[in-house]
Amino acid sequence: MTQEIKQERKLSIELSSEGARGIKFDKAENSASKYLDKKYLRKEKANLPQIAEFETIRHFTKLSRLNFSIDTHFYPLGSCTMKYNPKSYDMLSALQGFTNLHPLAPDIACQGTLETLYEFEQMLKEITGLHSFTMQPAAGAHGEWTGVLMAQAYHKKNGETRTEIIVPDTAHGTNPASASMGGFSVKTIKSAKDGRLDVASLKEAISKNTALVMLTVPNTVGLFEKDILEIADIIHDAGSLFYLDGANFNALIGNVKPADFGADIMHLNLHKTFAAPHGGGGPGSGVVGVCEKLESFLPVPRIVKEGEIYKLNYNYPNTIGRVKGFHGNIGVILRSYFYLKQHDVDGLKEIAENAIINANYLKEKLKKYFPVYFDYICMHECVLTIDKEKFNGVKTLDIAKRLLDYGYYAPTIYFPLIVPEALMIEPTETEGKKDLDGFIDAMIKIHAEIMDNPDLVKGAPYTMPVKRIDEVSAARNPNMCWSAN
pLDDT tens for 77-124 read 999 999 888 889 999 999 999 999 998 999 999 999 999 999 999 999
DSSP state letter for 5: P
Residues 256 and 108 in one domain: yes
In a domain, 32, yes or no: no
> Is the pLDDT confidence value at 385 over 70?
yes
Residues 268 and 375 in one domain: no
Closest CA to 152 of 325, 297, 296: 297
* Strand spans (E) along 90-143: 132-134
Residues 245 and 179 in one domain: yes
In a domain, 39, yes or no: no
Residues 406 and 271 in one domain: no
pLDDT tens for 444-474 read 999 999 999 999 999 999 998 888 888 788 8
Are 267 and 98 in contact by the 8 Å Cβ rule? The answer is no
CB count in 10 Å sphere of residue 31: 9
CA dist 241 and 157 (Å) reads 14
List helix spans (H) across 406-432: none
In a domain, 282, yes or no: yes
Q: Please list the residues that pair with 425 across neighbouring strands.
A: 77, 382
In a domain, 290, yes or no: yes
CA dist 17 and 48 (Å) reads 11
pLDDT tens for 33-48 read 888 998 899 888 888 8
- Residues spanned by the domain of 338: 101-192+208-218+238-342
Residues 330 and 388 in one domain: no
Look at residue 480 in the predicted model and tell me its pLDDT: 65
Residues 432 and 366 in one domain: yes
Residues 187 and 297 in one domain: yes
The pLDDT of 249-273, averaged and rounded, is 96
In a domain, 156, yes or no: yes
> Which range (30-34, 89-93, 189-193, 306-310) has the least confidence?
30-34
Look at residue 466 in the predicted model and tell me its pLDDT: 82
Q: pLDDT category, 8, cuts 50, 70, 90?
A: low
Q: Is 347 left (phi over 0), alpha (psi -120 to 50) or beta?
A: alpha
Q: Structural domain tally of the chain?
A: 2
Report the CATH number at residue 410: 3.90.1150.10
Report the CATH number at residue 107: 3.40.640.10
In a domain, 92, yes or no: no
User: At a CB cut-off of 8 Å and minimum separation 6, what does 211 contact?
Assistant: 151, 152, 155, 162, 163, 164, 165, 184, 240, 241
CA dist 152 and 400 (Å) reads 41
pLDDT tens for 125-150 read 999 999 999 999 999 999 999 999 99
